[in-house]
Amino acid sequence: MLQNPLSKLVKLDLSNSCISDEGAAALGGGLKKNNKLKKLTVQRIESITPSGWAAFFRGMSNSNSSLNELDLEDNDEIGDEGAVALSGAFAGNNSLKCLDLSSIKFISTNNWIALLKSLFNPDSVLEKLYMYNNDIDDEVVTFLGGALVNNATLKSLSLMYNRSITERGWAAFFGRLSNRGWKTLASVLCNKSSIDSIYRSNHTLQDVGWINNRQSSR
């Protein structure tokens, strides 16, 4: 169906299904030749193993892809193997605008960083990124903060319920932490150290959401 040149399918939701590794590989293969589908939702599929997810992500690498939204929420089985393949799929992606990676655990720090590097590649048009309840750590969120400094496309970012991030990690991301809570996003949105730094700062990000163990803020 996805490879049919006459197909007009633009949205596909396969959440909570019993797709096997073989089905996941076939789905990725279909996406590799598809230039019509704009939104794919595959939440909570426990029957796909890390190898199956890797096969799916390798297949979906498509320079002519029209996929704007990809929702992978609540798929712990992706793991490191799947994350590596997903990084490769995003390396030159210039169509994806909304990505949900929420509630995906069991990915190592190094592979989270590699995945974020691929997402913020020079061709990226990503506008919305959801990464809540992932147990990402200080190193990951610090890298993310640095990646956003010169990013000109991301408008919305959610990091809620990542309780493995300490105050040190949040401070590195947001720039300044007071005794009463977060006072500013200045270091991310506007580096005032020089005129050139102001010019190169991120002036695109509009919405950031986060929650830690003791307070909720937006």
CATH of the domain at 85: 3.80.10.10
Q: Does some domain include residue 63?
A: yes
Q: Does some domain include residue 147?
A: yes
Does the pLDDT at position 48 exceed 60?
A: yes
Q: Does some domain include residue 19?
A: yes
Instruction: Give me the domain span that covers residue 186.
Output: 11-217
Q: Does some domain include residue 133?
A: yes
> Mean of the per-residue pLDDT values for the chain?
84
The number of distinct structural domains making up the chain is: 1
Could you read off the pLDDT of 86-130 as tens digits, one per residue?
A: 999 888 788 999 999 999 999 999 999 999 999 988 888 999 999
Give the model's pLDDT for residue 198: 61
Least confident span in 91-95, 170-174, 186-190, 214-218: 214-218
Q: What is the CA radius of gyration of the chain?
A: 18
Q: Does some domain include residue 2?
A: no
Long-range contact list for 172-177, CB < 8 A, 24+ apart?
172/138, 172/141, 172/142, 172/145, 173/141, 173/142, 173/144, 173/145, 174/145, 175/145
Does the pLDDT at position 186 exceed 80?
A: no
Q: How many CB atoms lie within 10 A of CB 210?
A: 21
Q: Does some domain include residue 57?
A: yes
Does the pLDDT at position 218 exceed 60?
A: no
* Residues forming beta bridges with residue 177, ordered by sequence position: 182
